[in-house]
Amino acid sequence: MATIRLKKIPAKAIMLSLILLSALSLVALMVASDSPDAFNRLQTPLLLVNTVSFFVLFILVLVSGRKLVRDYKKSKLGAKLRLRMTLAFGGLAIVPAVVVFVFATNFMNKGIDVWFDAEVEQGLSNALTLGRTALEEKIQQGLFKTTNIALALTGTDQLDKRLNELRNDSLALELVVLNNELQVIGASTKRLGNLGSRLPSKVEMNQAITKQSWASLDSSVEGEYLIRVLVPILGFSSNETPLYLHSLFSVDPNLSRMADSVEETYARYGRLTFLKTPLQYSYIFTLALVVIVGFIARHLWINRICRATSQAH
Amino acid sequence: MKNKSQKPERLLGTILLLLSFMTTNLFAQPVTPIKGESFLLNAVYYSNIDLLFVFNKEYQQALNSGLVFDIDLDFVIVNVRKRRFDREIGKLSQKYTLKYNAFTQRYTILNVNTGGVISHASLVSASQYLGDIRNLPTIDDSLINIEENYQVFLQVSTKAQGVPRWIRALRRNNLNFVTDWIQWPLFD
């Protein structure tokens, strides 16, 4: 008798604590779902807790089912009634669980799909194109200014001083004269320490050679947008090596901020779109686990009630 | 009889399926360390490393969707000793982040260690830039005993930022990759 008690009490305690833990984890999941970061952090341990609960409770259901069938086969008193009641209540419990699961999954998926509406994506894409078009004009201005500066350069004598004057007149951030080996011949910069990090690459140099100019919009770590232009200097060369002028212009800070905001929103939307399917699967998995744990817990409870009822009869 | 004749076909099918899965995974790897070499200059050992970055469609799609990738190069300099356990002399981690800016339509590489930023018009040129590491300061000469044998070990990893573990687990390609260690002597 004592051994039976010892076995029953831990099983009961484990069962109750697992159900309680599952219920608590679901409350935590509900609270965390408001904040994506908290949700990401909590999802894995919560799923683990629920998975463990599922397996332990499932084993308990199997054990109790086996015992019930064994009792029925042995024609024990009240076993038939218990089996019938368990099946009837179990059947009654499974229908609402499945209905809740199907409807909840459907609503959830539709809710997620609404967020990823094609019109939203098109709108964001249009905002990006609009911003790019607005900045295209600035790029053309930068190209025009750089071409004029290149024409104003007449020789390598006092090149740095001349570049400094031209930079001040043109409001450029940086002017660098390079040869086709990307070696700096002369430079003038407004921002100390930044020279070199923004030098053009070989590919860009080749484009400037073939198309007579190269211009691009670029961004910095701080979210600031810059216009970079590279044009050949036609007036003179260094030891018969063609020279190129690389210029850097800043974009109006307000425009830069707005462009950065559009880009950030577009990227965030893109990230969510990319992760949409696994996100949906993870929600379905969590919901399925919740429904199954709930169902199994209810089944164990029903089994207990049926046992008590049949014993009373 | 029918079942017997089907058995080898099934086996062959399974082997082919396994092989195709293995080769797909092999070719799907975004980075392969090719070689490394070190040299001494002004009392500092520098390293030149060649890596082959091949970002497949899935990586490109992830980047263009706004995902940011961390690329970590982990170096370990080990004193290889005879009849004794090897001794770790130093560790070095070189970190980069790779992202696509939809506004500028360029791939930006941030050198996390130096704060330097460079952008490329295509993923191919960004990959080439990342794979060609030159004159990376590796270890100070004062920590080295020329009489002993030293090896430089390198492991490269790529990791998608902000993708939770449970979402990565649900994806076929979880976008995180770690290469095997490669090694080369610090000096000959």
What is the block-wise mean pLDDT of chain B (188 residues), using blocks of 10 residues? 53 56 56 93 94 91 92 95 88 95 91 89 92 93 91 94 72 80 92
Give the pLDDT confidence score for residue A222 in this predicted structure: 73
Q: pLDDT tens digits for A197-217?
A: 578 888 888 888 888 899 998
Cβ–Cβ contact A84 with B under 8 A: no
Give the pLDDT confidence score for residue A110 in this predicted structure: 83
CA distance B187 to B36: 12
Alpha-carbon distance values, B47 to B39, B86, B137, B138, B143 (Å):
6, 21, 7, 6, 16
Residues 206-265 of A with CB under 8 A from B: 216-221, 225, 259-260, 262-263
**Contact: A271, B162; criterion CB under 8 Å:** yes
DSSP letter at B180 equals P
Listed residue (B82, B120, B77, B85) closest to B99, CA to CA: B120
Cβ–Cβ contact A270 with B under 8 A: yes
Q: At B26, is the secondary structure helix, strand, or coil?
A: helix
Distance from CA of B169 to the nearest CA of A (A): 9
**Contact: A131, B164; criterion CB under 8 Å:** no
Query: Which residue of chain A comes nearest to B98, CA vs CA?
Result: A221
**Contact: A266, B104; criterion CB under 8 Å:** no
Give the pLDDT confidence score for residue B2 in this predicted structure: 45
CA distance A40 to B114: 30
Question: Strand B177-178 and strand B149-160: pairing?
Answer: antiparallel
Q: What is the pTM of this model?
A: 0.74
Give the pLDDT confidence score for residue B110 in this predicted structure: 92
Give the pLDDT confidence score for residue A96 in this predicted structure: 82
Spans of chain A, pLDDT less than 70: 1-11, 29-40, 192-197, 238-239, 310-313
Answer for the pair A51, A286: CB distance below 8 angstroms, yes or no: no
Best residue in B101, B112, B123 for a mutation probing chain A (most A CBs within 10 Å):
B101
Query: Which residue of chain B comes nearest to A220, CA vs CA?
Result: B117
Query: Which residue of chain A comes nearest to B169, CA vs CA?
Result: A278
Give the pLDDT confidence score for residue B83 in this predicted structure: 83
CA distance B73 to B53: 13
Residue type, B21: F
- Which of B115, B129, B163 has its CB closest to that of A275? B163
Distance from CA of B26 to the nearest CA of A (A): 23
Cβ–Cβ contact A279 with B under 8 A: yes
CA distance A25 to A19: 10
**Contact: B121, A203; criterion CB under 8 Å:** yes
- Which of B62, B164, B170 has its CB closest to that of A40? B164
Task: Tell me which chain A residues have a C-beta less than 8 angstroms from the C-beta of B119.
Answer: 218-219
Helix locations, chain B, DSSP H? 2-28, 57-64, 123-131, 165-170
Cβ–Cβ contact A156 with B under 8 A: no
Query: Which residue of chain A comes nearest to B62, CA vs CA?
Result: A274
| H, E, C per residue of chain A | CHHHHHHHHHHHHHHHHHHHHHHHHHHHHHHHCCCHHHHHHHHHHHHHHHHHHHHHHHHHHHHHHHHHHHHHHCCCCCHHHHHHHHHHHHHHHHHHHHHHHHHHHHHHHHHHHHHCCHHHHHHHHHHHHHHHHHHHHHHHHHHHHHHHHHHHCCCCCCHHHHHHHHHHHHCCCEEEEEECCCCEEEEEECCCCCCCCCCCCHHHHHHHHHHCCEEEEEECCCCCEEEEEEEEEEEEEECCEEEEEEEEEECCHHHHHHHHHHHHHHHHHHHHHHCHHHHHHHHHHHHHHHHHHHHHHHHHHHHHHHHHHHHHC
Task: Tell me which chain A residues have a C-beta less than 8 angstroms from the C-beta of B166.
Answer: 43-44, 47, 282
Distance from CA of B171 to the nearest CA of A (A): 7
